[in-house]
Chains A and B, each alone.
Chain A
Amino acid sequence: MKRTFTANINGQVFNIDEDAFNLLNNYLDQLRLTFTGEEGREIVGDMESRIRELFEARLSQGVNVITIADVNSVIATMGRPEELNPDAETSAAAPAAGSATAQEHDDASEHPWYTLRLPAHKRLFRNLKNKVFGGVFGGLACYLGWNANVMRLLFLILVLCTRVYPFAIIYLILWMIIPPANTPRRVLQMRGEPVTPGTLGEAIMESGNTPPPLDERSADGNFWTMLFSFIGKCIMLLMGLFCGVIGFAALVGFLVISIGAFIAAITSNVAILTTFGIEMQWLLVSAVICGLLLVALISFAIVWGACSVIFHTPGASRRTTLFITIICIMLLIAVCILAPLAVAAL
C-alpha cells in the first residue's frame, strides 16, 4: 500500500504515488536549476506541459495513478538535466572522464579505516542500515569514511575505561541530536552522492525493498558487525528494564513531591509536607535535581544548535523547540516553588 498525492501539473490534476511525486518534484527542481532566468522559466514551463501530455497519454491507457515507473519513463523521454544542459553538452565527454578518475581517487583514499578530512559534500545522519543502537557510528563512519566497527570498539573501550557514564551519555546525546537518514534524499546526502532524479530514483527503489537491519555491503567483517549487534541488543534489554523500574519510581516520587509542594506553597504551611511522608531534605534534593535538569536541558539545546551549524544537520523542529521550552519553563517553576520551601524548612 502506498500513499498517493494529487499533483497539479499545468492545470491538470493527477493522482500520483508519494515516491513518484518526490522524484518528479526533484526532477523539476533540477530542471529549474539547469535552466535559469526568464528563459529558463519558459523552458521548464514548456517541459511541464509536455509532462502533462505524457501523463495524460498514460491515463488514457486505463491507469489511475502515476507511479514511479511512469515518472522514470518520462525522465528517460525528456532527458536528465545533466544531459540537457546547453553549456555542458559540448564538453560532456571531458568532465565525465575527469569525474571517473576523481571517483577512483576517492575510493582509494577511503580504503584505510580512517581519513582525516571533513567532507563538505556529505551530511551527518544516523545510518539506519548499519546500526547497533541508533546508527550513530554507522552514520559517523559514512560521514568520515572510517570503519564503523573499529570506531565502535574504540568507543566501547573508552566507555569501559571511564566507568560507563560520561561516554554513554555522550552517545545518547548524539543519538538524540543527529537526525536519522530516514528518507532517500537523506540517504544520498549521508553517502555524499549527488541528489539527482536518477540517483534519487535508485535510492527510492532501494528503500522500497525492506532493508536488512545490518548493511551487508558494509566493508567490515560480518562477524564483528553481528557481535556488536548482539552486545547492543543485550544492553538495550538491560537498559530497558533498568529505565522502566527507575522511571516508574521516579514518576511516583515526582507526583507525591509536586502535589505536596503545591499544597504547601498554597497554604504556606511547610509542615503539611510531613503528613505526606516527605522528609524536608527531599525538598532540597528535588529542587537541586530540577535545577540540574534545567541546566542540562539548556546546555543540550545549545550543543544541538552548535552541531546543526558545524555538521550541517537539521536543527530542532518547531515542535521539539516548543517541547523543550515548555519543559524548561516547568522546571523553572518547580525550582522557584521548591527552593524557597526547602530554605524555609531547613
Chain B
Amino acid sequence: MNVDNLKSQMRKGMLEFCVLLLLRQGDAYTSEIIEKMKEAHLIVMEGTLYPLLTRLKNDGLLAYRWEESPSGPPRKYYSITPLGEQFLIQLQNSWNEISHTVQHLLKQSPTPSNSSEQ
C-alpha cells in the first residue's frame, strides 16, 4: 500500500468539489483557480485542471465568458451555474457525512499511539 498514491487519490476525489466551492465565492479565471488550488496543495500538475474544468463546463456545472485583461490576451472567466449550485449542495451533504464519520473515528482512536506506531 503506497501512502503517496493514497494521498493523491484522496486529493483527486476532492478536486471537483473544491473547484466548485472556490467558484461559489466568485468568478475566477483559469490561472487564478490554478494558483488557489496549488496553494492548497490540491494539485501538483497544472495540466490536470484543464480537462477537469472543460468536463465540468461541458456537463453544465460551470460556464465561462471571455474578458479583456489589462495585459495579455483575453482571459477565460469561469462561473458556477444554477445546476452547479445544486450539484455542490449534494456534494456538500456527502462531504459532511464523510467528514462527520472521519472526525468521529479520529476522536475514538487515540492519536498518540497511532503516531508512535509509525
Which residues of A are interface residues toward B (Cβ below 8 A)?
10-12, 35, 39, 42-43, 46-47, 49-50, 52-53, 56, 77-79, 83-84, 86, 89, 93
Contacts and interface: CB of A to CB of B under 8 A. Distances in A.
Contacts of B55: 39, 86
A31 B111 CA distance: 44
B51 A84 contact: yes
Contacts of A78: 45-47
14 contacts: A10-B73, A46-B50, A46-B54, A46-B76, A47-B50, A50-B31, A52-B72, A53-B31, A78-B46, A78-B47, A79-B47, A83-B47, A84-B45, A86-B51
- Decide if the interface of chain A is mainly helix, strand, loop or mixed: helix
Nearest to A56: B72
Interface of B: 2, 5, 12, 30-31, 34, 44-48, 50-51, 53-55, 58, 72-73, 76
Contacts of A56: 72
B50 A93 contact: no
B22 to A, nearest CB: 17
Contact of B48 (A11, A12, A39, A84): A84
Given A78-B45, A83-B47, A84-B45, 12 more contacts: A12-B72, A43-B51, A46-B30, A49-B76, A50-B31, A50-B50, A52-B72, A53-B31, A83-B45, A84-B48, A86-B55, A93-B5
B37 to A, nearest CB: 13
A77 B50 contact: no
A46 B54 CA distance: 9
Nearest to A78: B47
Given A84-B48, A89-B12, A43 B73 contact: no
Contact of A39 (B31, B58, B72): B58
Given A89-B12, A93-B5, A49 B51 contact: no
Contacts of B31: 50, 53
Contacts of B53: 46
Contacts of A42: 54
A157 to B, nearest CB: 54
Contacts of B72: 12, 52-53, 56
A49 B73 contact: yes
A43 B45 contact: no
A12 B73 contact: yes
Given A42-B54, A46-B30, A93-B5, A79 B46 contact: yes
Contacts of B58: 39
Contacts of A10: 73
